[in-house]
């Protein structure tokens, strides 16, 4: 049995749906407001058990007094799955759902009471097969470039780093994002994090490293004028972006636009920074940058000793 996944990020906002048909005579019917549930991660695997929690402590009425009894029910893809027909105002109701097939899902929660319009909230996710999610890359796990053997896919050590949008099911597809200190530890025995000089030995043509990849049938790179993708080296660079660990929202940035990789080399100007190399969808050259060792999390490739 797969481990349960418990989501912890609260989804802001709600949709208000009527508890009964609204007519000219029901314009003054009050509404329940303020229901929230935790937001689903965007991708899960078939067989995962998902756990959702409704936060009902902030429920209020649009006017008048709160009802004495409030019920709660859940739907998955418009099919009712669970109903709590009791006073849930002081509780944190839980709903578990085991994903049984591939495809798109919507989980909706509704708070209802007699004489009130519902408060509702919806979150969505997609169940995928990670072994069949990515196409357009080479099959070899390594690539020999300039006489050195490189890993041909992003590292995905589960003991360190961050999954894309907290969806661990795509670790084997996208790799994971690592701070610079973490990147020092994840290359296997006999391999190492490449230096800036080793990166520079790959040349400057970004298209030689970029894969014409598709994720779930959607093209990942959309190159701009002047960008030509050949993946002639078999490096298989894909644009999964990067992670800002200090951001309160939108931590995962520039998916579909950028691939960014740590080097093992410190910045020449600041010991808190390290050099990285990145590829943009609209630039034909491999670019150079310096980033915070602590707050920036990037993809990692390894080179054989």
Last residue of a domain, one of 95, 128, 161: 128
108 and 177 part of one domain: no
Into how many domains does the chain fold?
Answer: 2
Residue 145's domain spans which residues? Answer: 130-304
| Range scoring the smallest mean pLDDT among 89-93, 202-206, 263-267 | 89-93
157 and 171 part of one domain: yes
177 and 97 part of one domain: no
230 and 245 part of one domain: yes
* Torsion sign (Cα): 295, 299, 303, 305: positive
102 and 138 part of one domain: no
Decide if pLDDT at 162 tops 70.
yes
Last residue of a domain, one of 111, 128, 145: 128
Question: Is the CB of residue 236 less than 8 Å from the CB of residue 153?
Answer: yes
**Residue 201 pLDDT:** 97
In this structure, the number of other CB atoms found within 10 A of the CB of residue 62 comes to 13
Per-residue pLDDT band for 20 (boundaries 50, 70, 90) equals very low
Per-residue pLDDT band for 84 (boundaries 50, 70, 90) equals low
Q: How far apart are CA 301 and CA 261, in angstroms?
A: 7
Per-residue pLDDT band for 88 (boundaries 50, 70, 90) equals low
116 and 157 part of one domain: no
Decide if pLDDT at 8 tops 70.
no
| Range scoring the smallest mean pLDDT among 88-92, 196-200, 235-239, 253-257 | 88-92
What are the residues facing 103 on neighbouring strands?
A: 127
Q: Return the CATH number at 110.
A: 2.60.40.10
List pLDDT tens digits, range 227-249.
Answer: 899 999 999 999 999 999 999 88
Give the whole-number percent of the chain exceeding pLDDT 90.
Answer: 79
| Range scoring the smallest mean pLDDT among 17-21, 53-57, 122-126 | 17-21
Residue range 280-305: average pLDDT? Answer: 97
Q: Find, among 56, 37, 31, the residue nearest to 113 by Cα.
A: 31
Last residue of a domain, one of 65, 95, 128: 128
**Residue 236 pLDDT:** 98
**Residue 173 pLDDT:** 98
162 and 291 part of one domain: yes
Decide if pLDDT at 45 tops 50.
yes
Q: For all residues of the chain together, what is the average pLDDT?
A: 89
Decide if pLDDT at 218 tops 70.
yes
Pull the structure tokens for residue 195: 């230096």
137 and 122 part of one domain: no
211 and 85 part of one domain: no
| Range scoring the smallest mean pLDDT among 52-56, 132-136, 194-198, 217-221 | 52-56
| Range scoring the smallest mean pLDDT among 2-16, 44-58, 251-265 | 2-16
> Using alpha carbons only, how large is the chain's radius of gyration in Å?
24
180 and 284 part of one domain: yes
116 and 183 part of one domain: no
217 and 76 part of one domain: no
Q: Find, among 134, 240, 148, the residue nearest to 198 by Cα.
A: 148
Per-residue pLDDT band for 27 (boundaries 50, 70, 90) equals low
């Amino acid at each position: 049995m797969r481990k349960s996944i418990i989501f912890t990020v609260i989804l802001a906002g709600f949709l208000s749906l009527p508890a009964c048909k609204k007519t000219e005579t029901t314009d003054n019917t009050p509404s329940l407001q303020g229901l929230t549930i935790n937001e689903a991660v965007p991708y899960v695997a078939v067989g995962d058990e998902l756990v959702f929690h409704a936060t009902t402590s902030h429920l209020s009425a649009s006017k008048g007094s709160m009802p004495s009894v409030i019920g709660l029910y859940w739907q998955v893809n418009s099919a009712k799955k669970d109903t709590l027909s009791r006073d849930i105002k002081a509780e944190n109701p839980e709903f578990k759902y085991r994903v049984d097939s591939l495809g798109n899902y919507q989980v909706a929660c509704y708070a209802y009471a007699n004489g009130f319009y519902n408060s509702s909230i919806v979150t969505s996710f997609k169940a995928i097969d990670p072994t069949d999610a990515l196409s357009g890359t080479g099959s070899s796990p390594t690539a020999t470039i300039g006489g050195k053997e490189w890993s041909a896919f992003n590292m995905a050590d589960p003991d360190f780093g961050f999954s894309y949008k907290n969806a661990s099911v795509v670790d084997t597809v996208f790799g994971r994002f690592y701070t610079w200190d973490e990147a020092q530890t994840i290359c296997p025995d006999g391999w190492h994090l490449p230096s800036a000089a080793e990166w520079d030995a790959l040349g400057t043509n970004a298209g030689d490293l970029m894969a014409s990849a598709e994720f779930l049938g959607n093209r990942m790179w959309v190159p701009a004028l002047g960008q030509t993708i050949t993946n002639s080296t078999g490096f298989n660079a894909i644009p999964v972006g990067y992670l800002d660990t200090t951001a309160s929202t939108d931590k995962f940035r520039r998916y579909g636009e950028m691939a960014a990789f740590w080097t093992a080399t410190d910045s020449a100007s600041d010991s808190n920074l390290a050099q990285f190399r990145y590829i943009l969808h609209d630039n034909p050259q491999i670019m150079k940058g310096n980033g915070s060792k602590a707050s920036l999390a990037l993809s990692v490739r390894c080179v054989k000793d």
